[in-house]
Amino acid sequence: MTKTSEIKKITECNIHGKLNDLCNKWLIWLGNEKHYSKHTISSYYNDLVNFFKFLDVYNNTQLTVEIINNITINDIRAWLAHLKNQGYTTSSAARYLASLRSFFSYLNKYENIDNKSAINVKIRKINKPLPKTIDEINTKAAIDEALNLNTDYWIRLRNYAIMMLIYGCGLRISEALSLTKNNINTDFITVIGKGSKSRSIPILPEVIKAIENYEKHCPYNIENNKEIFKGKQGRKLNASSVQKHMCTIRKSLNLPEFITPHTFRHGFATHLLTNGADLRSIQELLGHKNLSTTQIYTKIDQKRVFDVYSKTHPRSN
């Protein structure tokens, strides 16, 4: 799971070999048992390295399993204070702490290291900002603009199909780009989401038509078990290419800077809620593990209603 260069980076923290082995076993566990993506595992790894580098200076001695076993809440608070002094935000510190908690939870469960200091440390609750969304008029305009980009015709059709898919089914961009022919039937698509969990989502006829039109003009063969969306060289399309085209669309229509492909997933949820869909259904469609994650869209809808009220009520000024 880890690269040699990554293992060397841990070693540079003056870490004992046995602890190094535990770190790499944890990384493998994150992939094999928790089914985290490579990107998430890399982030967790970097967070742990940051903690070890702090301990390296803080203790001025080689890091061993025994030292980790005796880490106290005050040690972790000192690290969090260090992060704050380095200019890290509260949300960043919370993410670092979540990585450390995962590491210690693994040690507690599988390595007989009974230290719950990281689990017991509290951090100030963060009020998450509301997701940025896009109204229905600008959604349609942005999707249609994909067909007007100055690029090959099949690429325009591809970009249009991707945006239709993200908005029409509420997909993450990674889910859309991983879709294969085998994942699509007449009425539903099967999506592999976070944690390798699959879910079925209804698909609109307009979305299927957009995908079929792209396939018809794509110069590359699209196998049933391979990703549908191809890059210019015929390989799997990467997210950065879609982001780049979205940036062009945004500038062309003079849309806000925050609008990205993921904004259309937020738009999918918000527009369904506005038009009467229930939260449980939206939760299943989005693939959220907890309903509380989906409930944030109710706040967006409430804000929209308040804004309309403030702008239109004759006594609001």
The catalytically annotated residue of 53, 156, 250, 288 is 288
262 included as an active-site residue: yes
Q: Is 288 a catalytic residue?
A: yes
Tokens encoding 117:
């200091």
User: Does 194 qualify as catalytic in the annotation?
Assistant: yes
Check residue 132 and report its DSSP letter: P
Among 53, 250, 265, 266, the one annotated catalytic: 265
Annotated active-site residue 245? The verdict is no
- Please say whether the beta carbons of 180 and 227 come within 8 A: yes
Quick one: which H or E segment has residue 191? strand 188-192
Distance CA 3, CA 153 (A): 40
Q: How far is CA 126 from CA 131, 168, 304, in A?
A: 15, 31, 23
Burial of 103 (0-12, 13-18, 19+ CB in 10 A): buried
CA distances from 193 to 118, 174, 177, 196, 219 (A): 29, 8, 12, 6, 28
CA-based nearest residue to 169, from 262, 288, 285: 285
Among 194, 199, 232, 304, the active-site one is 194
| Total H helices, total E strands in the chain | 16, 2
Report the DSSP pairing between strands 188-192 and 198-202: antiparallel
Q: Respond yes or no: is residue 315 known to be catalytic.
A: no
Q: Is 77 a catalytic residue?
A: no
Give the span between the Cα atoms of 116 and 111, in whole angstroms.
Answer: 13
Q: Report CA Rg, the chain.
A: 23
Owner of token pair 């309903």: 291
**Which residue is catalytic, options 36, 44, 214, 297?**
297
Q: Among the options 172, 245, 266, 271, which is catalytic? A: 172
How far is it, in rounded angstroms, from Cα 1 to Cα 238?
A: 22
* Residues taking part in catalysis: 172, 194, 262, 265, 288, 297
